[in-house]
Amino acid sequence: MGAKAGDANADDTPIDSADINIGRVLKPVGLAGEIKVLPLTSFPDRFLSLKQARILVGQNTQRFDVRSVRGDGRFFFFLLAGVDSQEAAGRLRGGLIQIPEAERHPLPAGSFYQYEIIGLSVLTETGVPVGQVSEVIETGGGSDIYMVRSEAGEYGIPALASVVRKIDLAGRQMIIRPMPGLLPDRYMAR
């Protein structure tokens, strides 16, 4: 029961709920306008079949035909139509490569995209409000950690089925059963 790495990480919440960020433009490479892209998706092979790239830079989305894509195991390198100089590629630095939400890959039952988790209200099983999920931290092998902010502080909630009892996306709630010591006493069963 956790936010398995999907197509959106904590730092790339979609501006429009219909858009999913799948990559971040890091920098230009060489003089011909190639860009280096960090994947923000658990499905990076999708880059190899992209025919068009939508890149959000600031508040402006630009569309480019993809001339070529290659990967090196960690990063992808794009040549885009109309981006044919280091200067033009530099203007895309920090941009987010997006896809429509309808094109996201399906996840197994009990897994969620991080952007779906961020913003959920967190309550204990007894109905005590804890706060809101502000970030999902991927631990790289274990369970993710949901960072929950409240007026009283910030708490790390492990994405374990024994702790996270229910995720209700429609109701925008996460119900937790805090293990001893996870939260201050005021959040424990009443």
pLDDT tens column, 38-74: 998 878 888 999 999 999 999 999 999 999 999 998 8
DSSP of 139-187: -SSS--EEEEEETTEEEEEE--TTTEEEEETTTTEEEE-PPTTSS-GGG
Mean pLDDT of the residues in the chain: 86
pLDDT in the model for residue 184: 84
CA atoms within 13 A on the CB side of 169: 10
**With 70 as the cut, is the pLDDT of residue 87 above it?**
yes
Pick the closest to residue 121 from 187, 168, 78 (CA basis).
168
Judged against a pLDDT cut of 50, whether residue 12 lies above it is answered with no
pLDDT band at 101 (very low <50, low <70, confident <90, very high): confident
CA distances from 136 to 29, 182, 186 (A): 31, 17, 24
When pLDDT is cut at 50, 70 and 90, the band that residue 8 belongs to is very low
Q: What is the arrangement of strands in the sheet containing 121-124, beginning at the earlier edge strand?
A: 153-158, 145-150, 129-137, 121-124, 173-176, 164-168
Give me the CATH code for the 114-183 domain, please: 2.30.30.240
User: And the tokens for 149?
Assistant: 């902010």
Considering the domain 19-100, what is its CATH architecture?
Answer: Beta Barrel (2.40)
Q: Domain ranges in the chain?
A: 19-100, 114-183
